[in-house]
Chains A and B, each alone.
Chain A
Amino acid sequence: MRQAERIALPAEPVARPAWHLGDLSESNHWAYYLLLPSLLLVAMVALYPVASGVWLSFQRYNLLRAAVPSFVGLAQYADLWTDSVFWTAARNTVVWVTVGAGSQFLLGLIVALALNRPRLRGIGLLRLGLLLPWLMPTVVAGHMWSLLLDSRLGVVNDVLVRLGLLQGYVAWFAQAETAMAAVLVVDLWKNFPFFTLLLLAGLQGVPDELYEAAEVDGANAWYRFWRITLPLLTPVIVASVILRVIGLVNAPDLMIILTHGGPGLATHVLSLLAFNSAYTGFNFGAAAAVATVMLVVLMVFTSAYVRVSGVTRE
């Protein structure tokens, strides 16, 4: 009712500004006018930088050495090809992304399935708590876990020793064998709720009638999951996996905060390599080359994944 009243209000005959927004909106180009601000902004702060970044990868540009970039063609890509650090970082990135996305998806899915039982008591509080890690700033998440897993003060070590699972305290982030796993646990903690959030929304969109019909036909829970739930969730799964993979490939934040890529090169990934080249080495050309490689790999992965999964675009 209140809505109807609001709509019924006649347009106020107030004094209009020199350029009439109302008049402008009556033009045939109104749809474009509305788009213009965001297009200009995105062109300025995203499109231009990326184009310029790719262009930078063909130039030698070290802020410390020369003020002017010089065109070197594919030389910096050739440098990468023969750089063993680049290949180590590439291998680590594969582990980081596959294990990271895989573990986060699995835990996220299991939690989403468990949360999708609205009759359970206390489900609201559980859902809220389960989302919290996703809201945490990476810096704080990093410090939290660096304290939890500390080699002298870490409560995780303490609990594991008390339970008899460990002989003595372990320096999780400082050992080559455990460092990657430890950072992966931190990222699992921080990002499984992302999958839970999206998959839960997807699950709630599955009509109950489908399950009831399947149950009448005698299908067991396992069969219902594989034949009803998963197929209907596929679009959500594909979209969430793509977004998460992009996040894992592109963000060196946790490595910067926790390990600096170490010990040795145990947690060195491509995004960190690119960031360090620019941030500590001021070698913008080389950094751009690494980042461009990442962009190309991501684009190939995404289009291949979309095609293989059989999800057709809108």
Chain B
Amino acid sequence: MIRSRHQTQRLYDVLAYGVLLGAFTFAVFPILWTALTSLKANADIVTADIQYLPLRPTFQNYATLWAQAGFPTMFLNSAIVTALTVLVCLAVGISGAYSLSRYRFRARAQLLLFYLVIRMFPAVLLLLPIFIALRVLGLYDTHIGLTLAYTAFLTPVSIWILKGFFDTIPPELEDAARIDGCTRAGAILRVVLPLARPGVAATAVLIAISAWNEFLFALMLTTSQGIRTWPVGLQLMVGEYQLPWGLLTAGGVISIAPILLFFALVQRALVRGLTLGAVKG
């Protein structure tokens, strides 16, 4: 049997759709189910017959959650730690990544490899000495302490990503700026950073999501209600109440919201990053 090329392509398209729809359902259904559950009253969650759609949708879970259990405080704590982490990682990451992207010096390759190897360090192995050191320094159970711990694994990541973005910016642009009397630092601030803004934004969002979501370090390095971040708080609710599904799902939905917002931003930034190719031509 001879099939035309067109028919074969159509067959593959159908096959691809099948795969994608299946995987899409697998990926999105749990999130959808969580959102639906958060809109049900507890009596409609704990039922003999599972209620697929909320028959009596209510925002009661959200109101209860926001009013109790110090959730707004934990949200604020997460926001503070996330912002500080992004700030530190970008500050040291931009300058380090720029140097690795532009200059050739001894041990450069080893340094790049070293920043990759750091990812191999078991979190627990980092955690123990950081825990001890933070207690000695009086930074245990503080925003700054948690931020420092986060920069341990997020600085190397940001350096690698930022270096990739800097590599795409032609050095000739800086040369031109220097001929016009810019210092090297001036060329970075006025030429490179404006061009790399999409990349920097994308990196910032990736750092922010990692810090916002982080659970293990926060569990170990914070202890008081006033400092605790939301992932730890949400997990501890499981112990404090008898599986409060309404609150847990509502908490989940609220906590995901900023991530989706950030991601929407980075998507646009990434598209802009791709259109930067025009500079190359």
Contacts and interface: CB of A to CB of B under 8 A. Distances in A.
B190 A38 contact: no
A24 B186 CA distance: 11
Contact of B129 (A23, A48, A145): A48
A303 to B, nearest CB: 10
Contacts of B111: 35
A41 B155 contact: yes
Interface stretch (B11-19, B58-66, B196-204): B11-19
B50 A7 contact: no
B96 A143 contact: no
A153 B255 CA distance: 23
A68 interface: no
A38 B124 contact: no
B76 interface: no
B214 to A, nearest CB: 8
B173 A9 contact: no
B252 to A, nearest CB: 4
B94 to A, nearest CB: 9
Contact of A45 (B26, B91, B152): B152
20 contacts: A25-B183, A25-B186, A35-B95, A35-B111, A42-B118, A42-B155, A45-B155, A46-B153, A52-B129, A120-B16, A120-B20, A130-B27, A136-B259, A137-B215, A147-B33, A193-B27, A271-B124, A278-B127, A291-B124, A302-B120
A153 B45 contact: yes
B259 A37 contact: no
A295 B230 CA distance: 29
A144 B216 contact: no
Given A287-B128, A291-B122, A37 B96 contact: yes
Contacts of B112: 314
A262 interface: no
A26 to B, nearest CB: 6
B88 interface: yes
The size bracket of the interface on B is 35 or more
A140 B13 CA distance: 34
B185 A139 contact: no
Name the residue in B96, B113, B188, B195 with the highest tally of chain A Cβ atoms < 10 Å from its Cβ: B96
B181 A11 contact: yes
A117 B125 CA distance: 43
B33 A148 contact: yes
A37 B95 contact: yes
Interface of A: 3, 6-11, 21-26, 30-32, 34-35, 37-39, 41-42, 44-50, 52-54, 56, 107, 110-111, 113-115, 117, 119-120, 123, 126, 128-130, 132-133, 135-141, 143-145, 147-148, 152-153, 155, 158, 189, 192-193, 221, 243, 246, 249-253, 256-257, 271, 274-275, 278-279, 284, 287-288, 290-292, 294-295, 298-299, 302, 313-314
Contacts of B129: 48-50, 52-53, 56
B256 A129 contact: no
Given A39-B96, A53-B128, A256-B216, 16 more contacts: A11-B180, A42-B115, A135-B259, A136-B213, A137-B212, A140-B256, A153-B245, A192-B23, A275-B124, A278-B124, A278-B127, A278-B220, A287-B124, A291-B125, A294-B125, A313-B113
B2 interface: no
Nearest to B18: A114
B213 A49 contact: no
Interface in B42-86: 45-47, 50, 52
Given A48-B129, A52-B129, A35 B99 contact: yes
Nearest to B175: A7
Interface string B253-268: 0011001100100010
A43 to B, nearest CB: 10
Contacts of A275: 124, 127, 216, 220
A229 to B, nearest CB: 14
A26 B124 contact: no
A301 B30 CA distance: 34
Name the residue in A9, A137, A256, A271 with the highest tally of chain B Cβ atoms < 10 Å from its Cβ: A137
B257 to A, nearest CB: 11
Given A22-B185, A45-B152, A253-B215, A189 B26 contact: yes
Contacts of A136: 31, 213, 256, 259
A314 B109 contact: yes
A111 B20 contact: yes
A284 B52 CA distance: 47
Contacts of B176: 7
A137 B113 CA distance: 28
Name the residue in A32, A114, A126, A299 with the highest tally of chain B Cβ atoms < 10 Å from its Cβ: A114
A127 B102 CA distance: 34
Nearest to A53: B125
A284 B234 contact: no
Contacts of A279: 219-220
B186 A250 contact: no
Contacts of A135: 209, 256, 259-260, 263
A295 B8 CA distance: 48
A278 B256 contact: no
